[in-house]
Amino acid sequence: MEDKSIGRQEKEHFLDTSVVRSLLLATPIYQNYLSSLLSNQKLYISNYVQMEIKRSYLMNLISFYFILRLDAIKTIGEAISLWSNRFKGSELKAILQFIPQFFGDYQLRTDNTQDKEDSLFALANYIKRFEFLLRTRYKLINDATICYRSLVPLEVDLNDPIPGLRAFVSEFGDVKTCRSRCQIDQFLLNQYRSEVEKLIETASNLPRNTNTRGFLNIVNNLREILATGAAACDCKKCEKIGDAVIALNAPRSMQLEHTDIAFNYLCPPINQPHYKHASENQVIMNIPVLNDDED
């Protein structure tokens, strides 16, 4: 891998969601890899990046909390069974990886009804700490989308965590209200319209393959937004173009740090400096990563 250490000392770094999530949740080997490249650097994220992590991880943790709290659920094991049988998808499976590790460390038994209350308390405590560290660990840049979901507070009183958790889920899940207060349409259709058009033009010259697929899917959604206008901008659509939003909003003076290959196509057309890090699998298996198009 090319040595980027000199350039790294001079730049500020804007972290994509995948990098932040890995710094918070990856295996020690991968965390060490990222930390070796990013520690002692000026690291920035945005409220939008925080929102993506809350959407993909924190919301599911809170949902599991309420599954476990159900009167009909007597043990951690029953909650795990219900979760694994009824919910699928990468983000939902992530909870199944977390739960055994977490409760195991507390010596809480998955088959013991007496451990349920302690489990709920320990989990609420972790949820509160995770949100706090996500909110405070990195410096913030301005979020030009003014994502309202990202501003929904999570205020957990550990003596009575239910109201705070429920209020968060309710407000975060109220995408109609959140959308009515954000400016994603202005962001895409006015502020960064020319950049969006450049991305669409770039995509028109690319073949569809495993490397370009993610980028092309994003561009298809951007194309639809440009064609339809503000009515096409909702939180579901925003989720599909999240990498584009992050690339567009990244300060051009900063280097965007990412692991998703889509950024290799999103960044050059808009002159956004970027660096693609090896994936967790590549680091664990010691496979080199190429950054041919890095600035």
The Cα 177–Cα 185 span in angstroms is: 15
131 binds other proteins (CB under 8 A): no
The Cα-based distances of 32 to 139, 223, 231, 258 in angstroms read 21, 39, 43, 16
The Cα 54–Cα 56 span in angstroms is: 6
219-238: contacts with other proteins (CB under 8 A)? 220-221
Q: How far is the CB of 251 from other proteins (least distance, A)?
A: 24
Q: Which one-letter amino acid corresponds to residue 196?
A: V
Choosing from 70, 133, 140, 230, the residue that interacts with other proteins (CB under 8 A) is 133
153-172: contacts with other proteins (CB under 8 A)? 157-160
Both ends of the chain: CA-CA distance in Å? 15
Our CB check for other proteins shows the closer of 66 and 186 to be 66
Choosing from 260, 272, 273, 275, the residue that interacts with other proteins (CB under 8 A) is 260
Choosing from 10, 28, 209, 292, the residue that interacts with other proteins (CB under 8 A) is 28
The Cα 9–Cα 39 span in angstroms is: 10
Our CB check for other proteins shows the closer of 128 and 274 to be 128
Tokens of 123: 């989990």
Q: Any alpha helices (H) in the chain, and if so which ranges?
A: 5-10, 17-25, 28-38, 47-53, 59-69, 76-86, 90-105, 116-136, 161-173, 175-181, 184-186, 193-204, 213-228, 235-240, 242-249, 263-266, 280-284
122 binds other proteins (CB under 8 A): yes
Choosing from 77, 102, 109, 112, the residue that interacts with other proteins (CB under 8 A) is 102
Choosing from 89, 253, 285, 292, the residue that interacts with other proteins (CB under 8 A) is 89
Choosing from 128, 179, 274, 276, the residue that interacts with other proteins (CB under 8 A) is 128
Nearest-CA neighbor of 251 among 72, 14, 60, 78? 14
The Cα 126–Cα 154 span in angstroms is: 13
**For other proteins, what does the binding mask look like between residues 185 and 204, x meaning CB under 8 A?**
--------------------
Q: How many residues bind other proteins (CB under 8 A)?
A: 48
Tokens of 70: 């159900």
Q: How far is the CB of 7 from other proteins (least distance, A)?
A: 26
Choosing from 9, 85, 90, 253, the residue that interacts with other proteins (CB under 8 A) is 90
126 binds other proteins (CB under 8 A): yes
Q: Is 13 helix (H, G, I), strand (E, B) or coil?
A: strand
10 binds other proteins (CB under 8 A): no
175 binds other proteins (CB under 8 A): no
Tokens of 146: 């003014």
Which residues bind to other proteins, rule: CB under 8 A? 18, 21, 24-28, 56-57, 89-91, 93-94, 97-98, 101-102, 105-107, 117-118, 121-122, 125-126, 128-130, 132-133, 136-137, 157-160, 208, 213-214, 217, 220-221, 240, 259-260, 280
